[in-house]
A and B are shown apart, each in its own frame.
Chain A
Amino acid sequence: GQNIDQPTEMTATEGAIVQINCTYQTSGFNGLFWYQQHAGEAPTFLSYNVLDGLEEKGRFSSFLSRSKGYSYLLLKELQMKDSASYLCASGGANNLFFGTGTRLTVIP
Chain B
Amino acid sequence: GAVVSQHPSWVICKSGTSVKIECRSLDFQATTMFWYRQFPKQSLMLMATSNEGSKATYEQGVEKDKFLINHASLTLSTLTVTSAHPEDSSFYICSTTGETQYFGPGTRLLVL
What residues of chain A have their CB less than 8 Å away from a CB belonging to chain B? Answer: 33, 40-45, 48, 87, 93-94, 96-101, 103
The answer, among A42, A45, A103, for a CB contact under 8 Å with B104, is A42
Report the Cα distance A41→B104, complex, angstroms: 9
Q: How many A-B residue pairs have CB under 8 A?
A: 43
Contact: A94 with B32, CB < 8 Å? yes
Shortest distance from the beta carbon of A64 to any chain B beta carbon, whole Å: 15
Hey, what's the 0/1 contact readout for B58-102 against A, CB within 8 Å counting as 1? Answer: 000000000000000000000000000000000101000111111
Q: Tell whether B42 is near chain A: CB-to-CB under 8 Å.
A: yes
Shortest distance from the beta carbon of B56 to any chain A beta carbon, whole Å: 14
- Which of A33, A93, A94, A98 has the most chain B CB atoms inside 10 A of its CB? A93
